[in-house]
Structure 1
């Protein structure tokens, strides 16, 4: 059993998710409502997408504390340039470029100067926060209806089950990244670097180039989170997602991806994001104070990291 958990990191989180659904279904009459499940997924889409970019960085043994603020900067660029008369497609492309370049700066410092990703992205968090506030003058801008807010458009399956275009888009994005990580040489190199960067270098992998590509791709994914955010809340707020970095890391860790790199994946991240949303929704419906919700989430993170350490030591 222990070996199975080690080989399939998402197995434990999936069991935890199912257990949480059962517990909250017993504790609340409305939890199993189809509309509630739809709301839970909609609520988790932005953080889950941020966690997707975080996942590929953590798989290399790094971490990105600036990811949520990079996405916020993306929403500001996309919205402001559209309001200034730039065609919306060009505004979206500019937002993606800004997010990718910002994340790439962190990747460059980590790869070329071998600085710890924690320190680099902590500094980048401060820089991006300042840039976002200076760029927006602390003002929240409404996103014009249309392509910018498309991700929030609601659709209905069988005229009953509500979902959004953003949910479909996020699902497609997750599948694309999963295929990239599990079915390409690039993905194998990501895991190799996370397991042992020096061994990967000796085996012919250009570690510096790979790390730069990982951060650049993560930046593009953060831009997609920005677009999804504009669909969910049609405004660009420089103070949005202040805890998005911690929430995305929480989803990744709870989903079974090791903070030490080389182990985990996209499936676990999806499950981890859903666990956080299910936990908050279930406890809210049961009338539990939000402080206890944060307490439960924090305990889950500690347990997940401890379990990862335990399985690593037993398999070493």
Structure 2
């Protein structure tokens, strides 16, 4: 009778785990997050505190939620440059109706959600019916949403928002650490979308369409309906991100979100999702958002100017895309 060495068994389990992580493109983001956290922990004693970790989550929750919609679109081999402006358009509808028109805040939230979702639906129609490239479509709707936002809001920030619009900025405490309800909502959304993508037929169809749309069509998957759903649902998700933005800042700012499209793409790419579609995991996007958040937070704590934070983020994106390209060539 052969007796297994417990140490050897643990080694094999560790190697098996590493292989699984590597096959899903999560090993790199996990290592990057650990190394970045370890480095900044040596540079600032404030980094490894509950309050700082909570702050990082608050800082990434808006982009983190928007990146969920961006992930779904990139999984279909598309891209959405309009997400930041779609989000802001929804927030301005919510805040202006609630403040200036005196509308019930919950109805105002619904109206803003419908507007953002409608823009996502428009993106989907242009991609599926007219067969325009997603890059061109969403670049166009980015500018349209920006212009409508400025016209509708008169470029004025909305203040004095009702409690319903700022609820997710409220906090509860775990020990001495204050955690916002918006952070909890973001994490819950990642869990729900993970279940959707991995445990439902529509979720698996998204991967199939991104991997090979013609093969997906031949197997009976309605590719146009899948794409239309993805862009529409992404618009809905952007409206939730907008609600979190309003809750965090306490105002409706028509000039917000200008670079959030690039931040969401950064989070998705750093999280291991392929820009060529069909490959990636939703919690990889969360890791990507956290990597960006950790770098920016750590560099701020160490007194590094913000321009270098942007520089490092750009370098990380190029490295992530290069790694994705090399992986595809190997395959």
**Structure 1 position 312 matched with structure 2 position 312:** no
After TM superposition, give the deviation of residue 61 of structure 1 in Å.
0.3
After TM superposition, give the deviation of residue 207 of structure 1 in Å.
0.6
Name 1:287's counterpart in structure 2: 303
The structure number with the bigger radius of gyration is 2
Q: When the two structures are aligned, how many residues end up with a matched partner?
A: 314
Which of these residues, 286, 301, 307, is aligned with residue 270 of structure 1?
286
Which of these residues, 114, 124, 131, is aligned with residue 131 of structure 2?
114
Which of these residues, 107, 113, 117, is aligned with residue 96 of structure 1?
113
Name 2:147's counterpart in structure 1: 130
Matches within 5 A, 1:211-222: 211-222=227-238
Contact 1:151/1:231 (<8 A) preserved = yes
- RMSD of the alignment, in Å? 1.3
In the alignment, the residues of structure 2 paired with residue 175 and residue 143 of structure 1 have an alpha-carbon distance, to the nearest angstrom, of 33
In the alignment, the residues of structure 2 paired with residue 263 and residue 194 of structure 1 have an alpha-carbon distance, to the nearest angstrom, of 8
Matches within 5 A, 1:215-230: 215-230=231-246
In the alignment, the residues of structure 2 paired with residue 61 and residue 286 of structure 1 have an alpha-carbon distance, to the nearest angstrom, of 38
After TM superposition, give the deviation of residue 4 of structure 1 in Å.
4.2
Contact 1:79/1:143 (<8 A) preserved = no
Name 1:152's counterpart in structure 2: 169
CA 1:143–1:57: 2 relative to 1, 3 Å: farther
In the alignment, the residues of structure 2 paired with residue 297 and residue 182 of structure 1 have an alpha-carbon distance, to the nearest angstrom, of 30
In the alignment, the residues of structure 2 paired with residue 32 and residue 297 of structure 1 have an alpha-carbon distance, to the nearest angstrom, of 22
Q: Secondary structure at 2:155's aligned position in 1?
A: coil
- Deviating above 6 A after TM superposition, structure 1's stretches of 4 or more consecutive aligned residues are none
Q: Which runs of 5+ in 1 are unaligned?
A: none
Q: TM-score, normalised by structure 1?
A: 0.97
Q: Which runs of 5+ in 2 are unaligned?
A: 1-14
After TM superposition, give the deviation of residue 146 of structure 1 in Å.
1.1
**Structure 1 position 77 matched with structure 2 position 93:** yes
After TM superposition, give the deviation of residue 292 of structure 1 in Å.
1.6
In the alignment, the residues of structure 1 paired with residue 126 and residue 108 of structure 2 have an alpha-carbon distance, to the nearest angstrom, of 28
Name 1:56's counterpart in structure 2: 72
In the alignment, the residues of structure 2 paired with residue 228 and residue 241 of structure 1 have an alpha-carbon distance, to the nearest angstrom, of 12
Which of these residues, 221, 235, 241, is aligned with residue 205 of structure 1?
221
Task: Show CA shifts across 1:296-316 (max 9, x none).
Answer: 11111001001011111111x
Q: Secondary structure at 2:178's aligned position in 1?
A: strand
In the alignment, the residues of structure 2 paired with residue 43 and residue 5 of structure 1 have an alpha-carbon distance, to the nearest angstrom, of 27
CA 1:143–1:105: 2 relative to 1, 3 Å: farther
